[in-house]
Structure 1
Amino acid sequence: MICSHHNFFQNAPDLIPREIFPCCSVEGSEIKLISGPTHAGKTTFMSQVASNMVGVKIYIDFEDRQIPEPVSGDLQAIEETAAEIRKKETEDGEGRIFYFFDEIQNLQGWENWVDRLHRQGAEIYLTSSRSKLINEFSSRFSGRCKILRLFPFSFREYLQIKGNRIAEPNFLTPSSSDELLCMFLQYFENGGFPDVIKKDDISLSRKYFEEELKKGAAAGYDVQKLKKLVIFLISNMASEYSPDTLKKISGIESGELINTYLDYLEDIFLLYRVPKLNSLQESGKEKDVPCKIYAGDTGLFKAVYPGYPDSLGLRFENLVFLELLRREKQVFYFRNQRECDFIIKEKDSQKVSAAIQISVCFGNPAVMEREILGLTEAMDEYGLEEGLILTMDEEETIRVNGKNGKKIVMVKSVWKWMLE
């Protein structure tokens, strides 16, 4: 069951350092939970962490089907084995023990065991591909835990894996800008799953999708209904969904059951729901708030439904949404007389800090007017003096009239924004 650092951590291939925001530092003695989608690189990230550790490193993958369900005696044996390794590898037999546990949710009663190991002085890193574990983990280990959220590769990480130097966006030559735009378009098409990028094989995204459906079937969901539901939602990413439409498409007759399926898809990071901000106060009930659906990776669109008519603008919006999550923003959308794609609050804050509009065809005068009016209405609503429009490659500064005077609209190319 145990794989020590000799045959796992030290023999890991060359790795691309993952970008984790400063507030998600791996430093400190807290129990660390690395949470994110399957195949996003959580195990690899643990390898990177382990490479900087001095001590005994114990790794166990609790999703390994060859490992039987451990019982209390097996867990005790793991600790004894770790102690034996420490005795052999350290002069005084007192070196630090580091535990690295993959997919910890598959170990029944893991909380008490991990709690005991931590209280005994071990440093512990856990991974999970289930988002619901985040709240349970935070509650169980309040004050003694740290959550690290890992997503598919960002554009910056994509450039690193492709061997490109990351340049300062404001100091690019025209030829460098053209090259980076081409790289961005490739990233936009294939998404950010590490192996999809390394092998240039979008079919892997389809394989990952099928794996998640099998897990859903094992969890008791009707796999055909689940598949119809998720294909429809991914092919209509960045759009509001109607419960009645979802019932018709999936064959799931109950609205409550629809929500159960959506909860599951969000739990495995396949989809995200983003609420309409100015409806939270109106309804008073979170389940009654209109939502938009976003996919966990933009590469899923063509992988899951290659024959579906492409909506470039919606995939573009989905890409920006995922980058906002990487930056630990709380994301909403606004719609009153007009619509604004993203309303942003900072982590653990209730104050709106930014309004962002997404536009692939900003050069079109009618599109430009619509996007600016929607952004300005949101800026007026939340008292913002400056707004942002992200485009494929246009850049300018626009001054507009708001209800309370002049406002500034910054227009930026999305790939430069993603390099900031």
Structure 2
Amino acid sequence: MICRDFYIQKIRPFIDKDVVKVMSGIRRSGKSVMLELIQRELLEQGRSEDSIIMLNFESRLLPFAKNVQSAFDYLKPLLSEKKYLFFDEIQDLPGWEELVNSLMIDFDVDIYITGSNAKLLSGELATYLGGRYVEIKIYPFSFAEILDIMRETQEEVNEAEAFLHYLSYGGMPFIYQNKMEEQAALMYLEDLFDSIILKDVAQRNKIRDIGAFKNLLLYFIAEIGNTYSAASIKKYLKNENRSVSTETLYNYIEYCKDACILQMVSREDLIGKKILQFQEKIYLTDHGLRQAVYGHNQRDINQILENIVFMELLRRDYNVTIGKANTREVDFAAKKREKRIYVQVAYMLADEKTVEREFGVLEEIPDNYPKFVITMDEIERSRNGILHRNIREFLKGQEF
């Protein structure tokens, strides 16, 4: 079990603090393992095993898993002294917010919860707790984490080959923890995709026309990194002999965001310093799912590299927008507190026209924040203060 120290460092300052620790993210991204890692951290700090209670609300063996009062009645006699409560996939318990709030008020507890829903904190929990929570978003393995796993199990690691594998199959932890080969990895990812579609989206939101919904999602999967509009999507669905209203269309998009499978990115005018309310882009939380249900990750390498860099920026807590400098587009403008960086992503700097396109737009931005051009090239071609980095080195590096 890899120690995801990046996340442990985020959680450690909140241990024993009067806040609920909420870990959200796409199904099978490693949230349950994070609960195990936190428990290990507690034991290493001197807490007893008896002080830890772990409940998985997806389990059918829990007699109270579908009823808040039953869950409360089960826990009450166990909480005569300080306890650390770990609730996995708690969104499957209707009214779970009430349970968490009651436990926080009535007992000496330190609570950690996970859920496969981006809106875990948008409803009653935020109202009940009034800010007494902290959210940590858990993403699939980064390339750096995958290298760490490989170095633990292999005498020698070829980073270029490892990256090509990551390019196709993404970072879902199960693939790397079980050293899955190509066909097994694709089968696992396809089954995971179906599970997300059925359990986290269709059933939860009572979607009737699953065919139309799945066609829409496949459209986004094929077009990651490209702009979209309601008109273009409806035209696509019409060609597939499907028809949905604009309202239903946007509901479907929201459902996918809630299930943490899609990430929406707004545009920002970097000269006028304002967010533009049109032509958003969509990226996938894990690009390996694309290979499993659509294929062509290596053929569409520009899109996949862009997706990889975008998700890495999210992992590092950047707030990311698509930049617009005059009439030209900057792939990513990323902010983190007072820090800001700009990033262009391309496959290769194959000729001077490409070099001018990727560097030129960054040169138009009238500030002195760090600017990067990220490609697969092995030879560095930085110029005019703009840093050129190989994507593997960028993903491993600390300078951003």
Normalised to the residue count of structure 1, the TM-score between the two structures is 0.81
**Aligned twin of 2:84:** 98
| Residues 307 and 356 of structure 1: CA distance in aligned 2, closer, same or farther (over 3 Å) | closer
| Residues 16 and 397 of structure 1: CA distance in aligned 2, closer, same or farther (over 3 Å) | same
Q: 1:214 aligns with which of 198, 208, 216?
A: 198
**Aligned twin of 2:334:** 344
Q: After the TM superposition, which residues 143-162 of structure 1 pair with which residues of structure 2 at under 5 Å, given as runs?
A: 143-162=131-150
Query: How far did residue 142 of structure 1 move?
Result: 3.4
Percent of aligned positions that are identical: 27
Amino acid at match of 2:350: G
Q: 1:117 aligns with which of 90, 98, 103?
A: 103
Say whether the 8 Å CA contact 2:297–2:304 is kept in structure 1.
no
**Aligned twin of 2:254:** 263
Say whether the 8 Å CA contact 1:16–1:161 is kept in structure 2.
no
Tell me the SS of whatever aligns to 1:134: coil
**Aligned twin of 2:386:** 409
Say whether the 8 Å CA contact 1:294–1:318 is kept in structure 2.
yes
Say whether the 8 Å CA contact 1:98–1:124 is kept in structure 2.
yes
Normalised to the residue count of structure 2, the TM-score between the two structures is 0.85
Q: Which sits farther off after the overlay, 128-137 or 231-240?
A: 128-137
| Residues 57 and 323 of structure 1: CA distance in aligned 2, closer, same or farther (over 3 Å) | same
> Any idea what the Cα deviations from partners look like across 1:268-312, whole Å, max 9, x if unmatched?
11111101112998998x8x4220110111111210112689311
Q: 1:129 aligns with which of 100, 116, 120?
A: 116
Tell me the SS of whatever aligns to 2:321: strand
| Residues 238 and 164 of structure 1: CA distance in aligned 2, closer, same or farther (over 3 Å) | farther
| Residues 322 and 307 of structure 1: CA distance in aligned 2, closer, same or farther (over 3 Å) | closer
- Runs of 4+ in structure 1 over 4 Å off: 21-24, 65-69, 279-284
Structure 1 position 332 matched with structure 2 position 321: yes
Amino acid at match of 1:341: D
| Residues 100 and 108 of structure 1: CA distance in aligned 2, closer, same or farther (over 3 Å) | same
Q: Which sits farther off after the overlay, 206-215 or 69-78?
A: 69-78
Query: How far did residue 160 of structure 1 move?
Result: 2.0
Within 2, Cα distance between the matches of 1:21 and 1:74?
Answer: 32
**Aligned twin of 1:203:** 187
Say whether the 8 Å CA contact 1:18–1:157 is kept in structure 2.
no
Structure 1 position 188 matched with structure 2 position 170: no
Query: How far did residue 26 of structure 1 move?
Result: 5.6
**Aligned twin of 1:42:** 31
Q: After the TM superposition, which residues 286-325 of structure 1 pair with which residues of structure 2 at under 5 Å, given as runs?
A: 288-306=277-295, 310-325=299-314
Say whether the 8 Å CA contact 2:88–2:113 is kept in structure 1.
yes
Q: After the TM superposition, which residues 278-293 of structure 1 pair with which residues of structure 2 at under 5 Å, given as runs?
A: 278=269, 288-293=277-282
Within 1, Cα distance between the matches of 2:297 and 2:148?
Answer: 31
Say whether the 8 Å CA contact 1:34–1:126 is kept in structure 2.
yes
Amino acid at match of 2:373: I
Say whether the 8 Å CA contact 2:87–2:113 is kept in structure 1.
yes
Amino acid at match of 1:74: S
Tell me the SS of whatever aligns to 1:293: strand
Say whether the 8 Å CA contact 1:317–1:358 is kept in structure 2.
yes
Tell me the SS of whatever aligns to 2:158: helix
Within 1, Cα distance between the matches of 2:192 and 2:167?
Answer: 18
Structure 1 position 57 matched with structure 2 position 47: no
Amino acid at match of 2:175: V
Within 2, Cα distance between the matches of 1:358 and 1:308?
Answer: 16
Say whether the 8 Å CA contact 1:159–1:165 is kept in structure 2.
no
Q: 1:242 aligns with which of 229, 240, 259?
A: 229
Query: How far did residue 254 of structure 1 move?
Result: 1.9
| Residues 292 and 364 of structure 1: CA distance in aligned 2, closer, same or farther (over 3 Å) | same
Tell me the SS of whatever aligns to 2:218: helix
Within 1, Cα distance between the matches of 2:271 and 2:369?
Answer: 23
Q: Which sits farther off after the overlay, 61-70 or 363-372?
A: 61-70
Tell me the SS of whatever aligns to 2:160: helix
Within 1, Cα distance between the matches of 2:88 and 2:4?
Answer: 19
> Any idea what the Cα deviations from partners look like across 1:210-268, whole Å, max 9, x if unmatched?
11221233222221111101111111111111211211223343222211110110111
Query: How far did residue 392 of structure 1 move?
Result: 1.3
Within 2, Cα distance between the matches of 1:144 and 1:62?
Answer: 22
Within 1, Cα distance between the matches of 2:298 and 2:34?
Answer: 36
Structure 2: unaligned runs, 5 residues or longer: none
Query: How far did residue 395 of structure 1 move?
Result: 4.6
Structure 1 position 388 matched with structure 2 position 339: no
Within 2, Cα distance between the matches of 1:354 and 1:43?
Answer: 32
Q: 2:220 aligns with which of 210, 233, 243?
A: 233
Say whether the 8 Å CA contact 2:67–2:93 is kept in structure 1.
no
Within 2, Cα distance between the matches of 1:281 and 1:385?
Answer: 16
**Aligned twin of 1:89:** none
Within 2, Cα distance between the matches of 1:314 and 1:345?
Answer: 22
Query: How far did residue 70 of structure 1 move?
Result: 3.8
| Residues 208 and 126 of structure 1: CA distance in aligned 2, closer, same or farther (over 3 Å) | same
> Any idea what the Cα deviations from partners look like across 1:109-129, whole Å, max 9, x if unmatched?
222221222232111110011
Size of the alignment, in residue pairs?
372
